[in-house]
Amino acid sequence: MNPTKTLHNLGQSLWLDNITRDLLNSGTLQRYIDEFSVTGLTSNPTIFDHAIKNSADYDSDIARRLSHARPAEDLFFELALTDLTRAADLLRPVFTRTNGVDGWVSLEVSPVLAHDTQHTIAAARSQPARRQVQPVHKNPRHQRRIARYRGRYLCRRPD
């Protein structure tokens, strides 16, 4: 048996700590969910920065979005949340099948804020507002607040 399936069968939730547009477009994330029992995904601004800088997969989306004047940080988060929403869509069956125990997608705040508590809290609170999401559930096991956006589940750290 596949070692990751063995871990999953023993009750371990396997999360991928990475996301790229290619991971989504190529079907690799879906394959990881199906074949390797990946049950969640987390990312952070550093991972997205690396994905955007090292791939042409984002170029057309960036060019199209640049036609609307906006701060670079807003553009960055639009791209990140687009990918995370797609990942959440792929993990939604896991969320449903496990009654919300698994099937989560999260976005951490910037590591630049690691030693700045007030700005970290402000950044965490602003993430759901970027997608106009509404909190719908708090899962005590994960201690993350879940937010629903058009039937998709995204999460952030508690206030």
Q: How far apart are the first and last CA of the chain?
A: 41
The pLDDT > 70 percentage for the chain reads 77
Bridge-partner residues for 15, per DSSP?
A: 40
Residue 33, both tokens: 């969910």
32 pLDDT higher than 90 = yes
Q: Is the pLDDT of residue 48 over 50?
A: yes
* Cβ 37 vs Cβ 67: under 8 Å: no
For 27, 92, 94, 106, 111, the CA distances from 97, given in Å and listed in that order, are 21, 9, 5, 19, 33
The predicted model scores a pTM of 0.74
Distance of CA 41 to the CA centre of its chain: 6
Q: What is the mean pLDDT of the chain?
A: 77
What 3-state class would DSSP assign to 117? helix
d(C-alpha 2, C-alpha 15), whole Å: 16
